[in-house]
Amino acid sequence: MNTPTSSMPANTMPTGTPDATTAAIEAALVHFNHLVTTTGDAVASIPGSQLLGKYIRNSYQNDPARVVLELFLFFFAVQYLLSKRARPASSPDGKSIELSQREVDELVDEWVPEPLVPGDADPLVLATDAAQLATIPVFAGPTAVKAKVKLMPVAGALGGVPATHAELATVTATTTPAAAAMTTIAQAKVVTVTNLATADVFGFANDDTNKNLAIQALRKYGVGACNPPGFYGTIDVHMQIERELAEFLQVDQAILYAQGFSAVGSAIPAFSKRGDLIVVDDACNFAIQKGVQISRSKLVFFKHNDMHDLEHKLASIEAEDKRLKRPLYRKFLVVEGLYANHGDIAPLPTLLELKNRYKFRLILDETLSFGTLGATGRGLTEHFGVPASSVDLLVGSLGHALASAGGFCAGANAAIEHQRLSASAYVYSAALPPMLAVTASHALAQLRTRPGDLLDPLRGNIRAFRTAVAHAGVFELPSDAISPLQHLRVARDTLPFTFAPLKVEPAPAADEISPKASMLSLFKSSATSAQQQQAAAAAVLRRKTADPEAEMAAEEARFLQEIVQEAAVQGVLVVRAQYNVEQEHKCPRPSIKVFVPALLSRKEVENAAKALRSATGKVLAAWAKARK
């Protein structure tokens, strides 16, 4: 039987045999090696490629997770770039919707822009602000202790804002807020007033020698420094005032900031970072509040000047750290020497004892106490007889007692040198204008050489003012007896009326419109009737559902504002304390702020207090009559 024979040559193998597969793999490997070598040579010819390769190898060896993350981000970016972009809305057939010109015009007409200032566009608030702006005096000369100002005639009882919320709603609804309250500056009456509204308590701003020095510095150095201190902005007069401040405060060094507000607001985040802890008085000024906020540290507030509450919180923090076995972190205690919101002083000896016991660093803001407290004006440390070096960081202002501008920090060498590279306001802001450094240096020299001539009259006038105002029986005096800043708050229990807001008869619900539409109706009186505008204002008033205490505070602030306005008419210039309600941590009760100057005689201070009492009595009688 014949067997079939294969026609394939004896020395050949089928294509799928192992020998053929091995040969194909070897050829592919040779080709791949050639491709890798060629690519490597091409990459190596690129400048910097060796450093990039070394970085990739080290990253893979030391942190493989990072390489995985970077590869993921790279491929995600590529996928995102290659994907289809967002397209406008389309019709069911997939084509883009085309709007006619009429439809576009209708959408534009219906569009209402957001207000430039965040918050409710409340027409009543707009009217109140316009009325208060209209009452702000305009200086017609130097801001001296006896100054000439222009008083604006405005609408409302006693020359102030409308007497009631109902009157305010009516005025707001019938006219624009500005037209309801303001007249032109040409109608203003120029009067001479006793200026109790300036922090220049020693009158350095109007000192003839100071003015001449400023003019000489202006001609020599120009207007501004034009650069940050670390980048050609530091001039010899800057270094001079820093040395003089350090010598005056008896510390190692001082650093100069161009703005007083940013001194403490920049010094705090220069030291305290995320993960650190700041314990701060809940009545601290707005600059401190922004500084601790920028630091992103953990914040703990203690009750104003309550050392028992502070000790309790510090002990709780220490116990929690031990219980959780937390690693070491930085802890700061931030207070003011003389509180801007209350006018009282901090108990520094107790603060030092607590900060040493619980291992905290103390930052003391002496914006108002520098130049006014202590036997020679060195501030709170001198007032209590403790060395300035016991405070970790002193912060002060040149724009209050020294009547210049800018701020400073003073302390140990390490604390000051650290700020020269880490404090944002120092690194990125232009340096203080040289002429202001010169005037600050001259004022500091006056304080250093003749402290008794400046401080003794100041403290005598403070005592005289407090005694005279206390006779009015209307005000509480929360400020310290030696503070040049005196806050006058209403003693509510002594008044023949309460500050409960007067009720307004509601308009029909059908007439209510949205807040934005009501705001527009106030400024587009030609488009709607006065009745519709009045309904809109009343509707906004009904939507205000603030708590009773907030409403009483608003009425109290309006009462004080009328006292301020009437006092100006009677020849005394004072101001009402203003706060950023939306951003402040805790706003105190409304008050009148008074800076008692040293340049007035005792009789002039008593006469100013007498005029303030007279203005208070007149406004008090008007309010009592309106609220019967």
Please determine, for residue 438, whether its predicted confidence score (pLDDT) is greater than 80. yes
Q: Are residues 191 and 293 in the same domain?
A: no
CATH number at residue 575: 3.90.1150.10
Q: Is residue 322 part of a domain?
A: yes
Q: Is residue 419 part of a domain?
A: yes
pLDDT of residue 308: 96
Q: Are residues 417 and 466 in the same domain?
A: no
Q: Is residue 202 part of a domain?
A: yes
- When pLDDT is cut at 50, 70 and 90, the band that residue 619 belongs to is very high
Strand order of the sheet with strand 331-336? Answer: 253-257, 407-411, 393-397, 361-365, 331-336, 277-281, 298-302
pLDDT per position as a tens digit, 538-582:
444 444 445 777 888 888 888 999 999 999 999 999 999 999 888
Q: Are residues 276 and 352 in the same domain?
A: yes
pLDDT of residue 157: 43
- The last residue of a domain, from among 432, 462, 480: 432
- The last residue of a domain, from among 432, 460, 487: 432
Lowest mean pLDDT among 143-157, 218-232, 431-445: 143-157
Q: Is residue 219 part of a domain?
A: no
Q: Are residues 341 and 468 in the same domain?
A: no
pLDDT of residue 474: 87
d(CA 221, CA 240) in angstroms, rounded, equals 15
Q: Are residues 553 and 417 in the same domain?
A: no
d(CA 331, CA 272) in angstroms, rounded, equals 8
CATH number at residue 414: 3.40.640.10
Look at 437 and 168; give whichever has higher pLDDT: 437
Look at 63 and 405; give whichever has higher pLDDT: 405
pLDDT per position as a tens digit, 29-49:
888 888 878 887 887 788 877
Instruction: Tell me phi and psi for residue 373, to 5 degrees.
Output: -110, 155
Average pLDDT over residues 366-383: 95
Q: Are residues 270 and 331 in the same domain?
A: yes
Q: Is residue 112 part of a domain?
A: no
Q: Are residues 479 and 354 in the same domain?
A: no
d(CA 295, CA 275) in angstroms, rounded, equals 10
Q: Are residues 560 and 475 in the same domain?
A: yes
Partner residues linked to 575 by β-bridges: 593
- When pLDDT is cut at 50, 70 and 90, the band that residue 89 belongs to is low
Q: Is residue 17 part of a domain?
A: no
DSSP 75-134: HHHHHHHHSPPP---B-TTSPBPPPPHHHHHHHHHH--PPPSSSS---HHHHHHHHHHHH
Q: Are residues 201 and 263 in the same domain?
A: no
Please determine, for residue 497, whether its predicted confidence score (pLDDT) is greater than 70. yes
Task: Classify residue 256 by its DSSP letter.
Answer: E
d(CA 107, CA 260) in angstroms, rounded, equals 48
Q: Are residues 191 and 278 in the same domain?
A: no
Q: Are residues 297 and 400 in the same domain?
A: yes
Please determine, for residue 534, whether its predicted confidence score (pLDDT) is greater than 50. no
Q: Are residues 561 and 465 in the same domain?
A: yes
Decide: 380 and 373 in contact? Cβ < 8 Å: yes
Element of type H or E holding 278: strand 277-281
What angle is formed at CA 481 by the lines to CA 479 and CA 483, rounded to 5 degrees?
A: 65
d(CA 449, CA 364) in angstroms, rounded, equals 25
d(CA 14, CA 413) in angstroms, rounded, equals 87
Look up the pTM and report it: 0.73
Instruction: Name residue 511's amino acid.
Output: D
Average pLDDT over residues 410-424: 95
Domain count, the chain: 2
- The last residue of a domain, from among 432, 463, 480: 432
Instruction: Name residue 386's amino acid.
Output: V
The residue range of the domain holding 390 is: 226-432
Q: Is residue 80 part of a domain?
A: no
Q: What value does the mean pLDDT of the chain take?
A: 82
> DSSP E strands: which ranges in 23-62?
none
CB-based burial of residue 432 (10 Å sphere; 0-12 exposed, 13-18 middle, 19+ buried)?
buried
Average pLDDT over residues 380-405: 95
Identify the CA nearest to 369 among candidates 406, 396, 347.
Answer: 396
Q: Is residue 609 part of a domain?
A: yes
pLDDT per position as a tens digit, 472-491:
888 999 999 999 999 999 98
